[in-house]
Amino acid sequence: MPISDIVLTIAALLVVIACSQPLARRSGLPFTVVLAMIGVLLALAAKWLLYTTITDQFNEVASLVIDIPVSSATFLDIMLPILLFQGAVTIDVRRLAKDTAPVILLAVLGVVVALVIIGGAVSFVSSAPLVVCLLFGAIVATTDPSAVIALFRDLGAPARLTRLVEGESLLNDATAIAAFSAFLALTISGGKFDLLNVSSTLSVSLAGGIAVGLIAGRVTVQILAWLRSFRAAQVTITVALPYLIYTLANNYIHISGVVAVVTAGLVLSAFARSRFQSETFRFFQDTLDQLSWWAGSLVFILAALLVPGLLADVQVSDLWITLVAVFAALVARAVILFGVFPILSATRLTQSISTPTKTVIIWGGLRGAVTLALALAVTENPLVDPETKRFIAIQATGFALFTLLIQGTTLTALMRWLGLDQLSPIERAFRSQVLSQSLSTVKSSLRNFAGRYQLDDELVETAMSPYSERLSKVAKDRTFEETISDKERLTLGLVALANQEKSLLFDPRWSAGVPHILIDQYLLAVDAMIDAAREDGRLGYLRAARKPHKHSSAFRILGWCHARMGINRPLAQYLGRRFQLLLINRIMVLELGVFLDTKLKALLGDRPAEILGEILRQRQEEIERHLAGLRLQYPRFARTLDHALLERFAYREEVEQIDNLREAGIISEDLARSLIGEAESIHAVVKPRSQVDFRATTSELLVSFPVFSELSQSELDEITKSLRTRVFADDAFIFRKGDKADGLYFIASGAVEIRIGERVVRLGHGDFFGEMALLAETRRSADIRSISYSHLLLLEANTFHKLVKAHPHWRSRLDEVAKERRAMNEAEKLAKEQELAKLVAIVTKPDNF
């Protein structure tokens, strides 16, 4: 068949596919089921036109449909990789991780159980050998979830139900195809079934696919980061990736290409988004969605065109075998869902799944293109005997048609009957609150619009009347106040804040230039906040929000290397990243405050909004405290990061202004491109990477203190020899009020917090403390603790008193410093006493009673 004819036929089929969407919506059937029906009808019509004696006018058109060169490679090598990759990239990996056990059970154990039960049942009612029956079981164990997922989304099915079916589909095909390859080899060789050999082959294939996918995914993530400014290059890399991995794995490494593609897609889903600019990521998603829609639609309609040919030799007895196979498949899925899942739920290895959800998963196991593609691979293989070809072709095709035409067409009714198309009670109650706000906004906007363009008042009232009626009905609905408690509203608000924080994190004004590892770390923290808010409310949310601020075990190792071995660079890099994380964290929390006031408050009510505001204030205070310590510790590095943030914001504002002028038609596309290119060239200038300004040497540090400025070098050397190193972690107390004065402390690096009553003073790099108790020979008068990783130098009490006696002028200088600090403390104490006295006078004034 000429290439031009193939192109013509594919183009015509794409037009048919596009026109089928409205038909699917009106009929209420899954789109892929409609495509399968249309494909079968097209094939039957083409055969009738080609062989009828009525007319020969349409023979050429009919031959284009019948003779189109569709093989198993068309489905498995061209269509399947992009479909699998798109499904893996778009799934929420972090949410899917919560359902790892059920997904693996459905996809791996479920396939094994299915092929065993189906193969065993078919072997009892047919004359085919057991190996051929198991081969058939592997072929029909591949579920095609595209129709089901589209239906779930249209009906508003629970997100977890959709996630389970999506997760199953990603690994299901991999397991089934690997099993298919093993049983096809046994069928061709005529060997006996060896469970150990089949199991080892499957294990190697799956494990190899996972390894290759992980490596390819991580390498691609690094390439995407390198190509961050080149949209076309990034999208090209990601579209080429599934075909590159699939072909290498299948044809050259001889492992599961399906598993490799799925694993690579999951890696990109987890880590790639922060490597794209926000506009590029949306373009990338849209591109993958469109490609997968074309591929998925063509797969169904092309596979359907093959159905009449595959069923050419069907007999009545074949129908009985197909029905037995379908029943066995339903039983196999029921065994997993109703037999194994309850055990896992009881042992807390997975969340429980409701009976309606299990029922829909069982009935929703539709088979489609992959099943027909594997059957086609058997019929195309010259080493397979004709009887086996006929058996596989008829049974696989009949099985797929039953699931599509019977299960697919009744799935909507089943879901509605089970109530899975309904909102949860909380969402139904929350709906009235959302409607109230949105309808009020629509009415206000409509009135402003009419006033601006001086439209007739009567027409305005007519247009507003439907909204007024709906608004009055919503106003009478008290389910929000009655159904949703304050605790539930608070949980809704916390989840909304976390989701908004995730969205803000991808705003290039804030996140551009932030290392990808920090964005990934932040995303994990936000997901943990969502889960913790749902499970433990505000306490869980705050606990998860504070977790990124705590130092890891790696930090303690780096601190030990710094203090004991003098290795500074790893610790400096760690603290620099921590500083950047806190800066972006601070911006996010401040932006969340605006979001709370402008969006959430009207939806949740005053009391929940007040509590949410207090939670955000607690987060901000925590962040500010850590930041204050780091700013004191690394002042130059802090200024560098602040300057970089301002530069990024200015750059994004400049680009946005140019885009606005272009969209308004004020400037041309060419001028806009030139201006953006100029802004990018300035922004893209590689600046020298700044690092934390780590501690100075001891002698340099002492010279910087005014109290040591008059000492000679020999005296400084003497003091340097007397100093002892002390290292304190974040939040560690250096000493407490009432402790015995052990010496004078100098801050080589880090920051400390001095708390005297309610008064808090923070000191950083180059400051000293602890002299007052030594000079007055009293106990400590305040609590002092480290507020970051602090490297201190201790001049012990005995050595201090020796130096004071030996250097009276040094003693006098320390006395001056101590006097200044004591006077400051007394002044603040007096001010507080006067303020308290005024308050007492106002309260006790007779006029107040």
Summarised one tens digit per residue, pLDDT across range 568-597 is 677 777 777 777 788 888 888 888 888 888
Please provide the DSSP assignment of 235-247 as one string: HHHHHHHHHHHHH
Neighbours of 743 (CB within 10 A): 22
How many CB atoms within 10 Å of residue 345?
15
- For the ranges 97-106, 524-533, 669-678, the lowest mean pLDDT is seen at 97-106
Region 356-365: what's the mean pLDDT?
77
Which among 404, 408, 487 has a CA at the least distance from the CA of 36? 404
Identify the CATH homologous superfamily for domain 698-834: Jelly Rolls (2.60.120.10)
Q: Higher model confidence: residue 419 or residue 123?
A: 123
Between β-strands 723-728 and 768-769, what pairing exists: parallel, antiparallel or unpaired?
unpaired
When pLDDT is averaged across residues 726-732 and rounded to a whole number, the result is 77
Mention every residue, 6+ apart, whose C-beta is less than 8 A from residue 295.
78, 79, 82, 83
Q: Which residue has the higher pLDDT, 275 or 421?
A: 275
Q: Which residue has the tokens 């697919």?
A: 408
Percent of the chain that is helix, strand, coil (3-state, to 5): 75, 5, 20
Span 711-720, mean pLDDT? 72
Answer whether residue 542 shows pLDDT above 80: yes
The tens digit of pLDDT for each residue in 55-86 reads 666 677 777 777 777 777 777 788 888 888 88
pLDDT at residue number 243: 92
Q: Once rounded to an integer, what is the mean pLDDT over residues 375-403?
A: 84
Q: What pLDDT is stored for residue 847 in this prediction?
A: 46
What's the chain's Rg over C-alpha atoms?
35
Burial class (CB in 10 A: 0-12, 13-18, 19+), 435: middle
Is residue 192 very low, low, confident or very high in pLDDT (cuts 50, 70, 90)?
A: low
> What percent of the chain has a predicted confidence (pLDDT) above 90?
1
Tell me: pLDDT of 722 over 60. yes
Asked: is 72-418 a CATH 1.20.1530 domain? The reply is yes
Cα 448 from chain centroid?
Answer: 40
- Average pLDDT of every residue of the chain: 76
Confidence band, pLDDT 50/70/90 cuts, at residue 843: very low
Q: Give the pLDDT confidence of 226-244 residue by residue, as tens digits.
A: 887 788 888 899 899 999 9
pLDDT band at 705 (very low <50, low <70, confident <90, very high): low
State the pLDDT at residue 423. Answer: 59
Tokens describing residue 567: 């290795």
Q: Is the pLDDT of residue 689 over 50?
A: yes
**Three-state SS across 286-337?**
HHHHHHHHHHHHHHHHHHHHHHHHHCCCCCHHHHHHHHHHHHHHHHHHHHHH
Q: Is the predicted pLDDT of residue 195 greater than 80, yes or no?
A: no
Higher pLDDT, 718 or 849: 718
> How confident is the model at residue 253, as a pLDDT?
87
Whether the CB-CB separation of 503 and 587 falls below 8 Å is answered with: no
149-187 pLDDT, tens per residue?
A: 555 555 455 555 566 666 666 677 777 777 787 788 888
The two tokens of residue 184 are 């096809």
pLDDT tens, 614-640? 999 988 888 887 777 677 666 777 777
Query: Using CA of residue 406, residue 411, residue 417, residue 418, what is the dihedral sign?
Result: positive
Q: Name the pTM for this structure.
A: 0.66
Domain limits of the chain? 3-66, 72-418, 425-483, 486-633, 698-834
Separation between Cα atoms, residue 761 and residue 629, nearest integer Å? 11
| Rounded Cα distance, 89 and 564, in Å | 45
pLDDT at residue 849 is higher than 50: no
Question: How many Cα atoms occupy the beta-carbon half-sphere of 549 within 13 Å?
Answer: 25
Which of residues 308 and 136 earns the better pLDDT score? 136
Which tokens is 313 given?
């030799």
Taking phi over 0 as left and psi of -120 to 50 as alpha, with beta for the rest, 711 belongs to beta
The DSSP output letter for 127 is -
Q: Could you give the CA distance from residue 136 to residue 114 in angstroms, rounded to a whole number?
A: 11
Per-residue pLDDT, 563: 62
Amino acid at residue number 150: A
**Per-residue model confidence as pLDDT tens digits over 461-513:** 787 787 777 767 666 665 555 566 777 778 888 888 888 888 887 776 666 66
Whether the pLDDT of residue 27 is over 50: the answer is yes
Element (H, E) at 728: strand 723-728
Quick check: helix, strand or coil at residue 790? strand
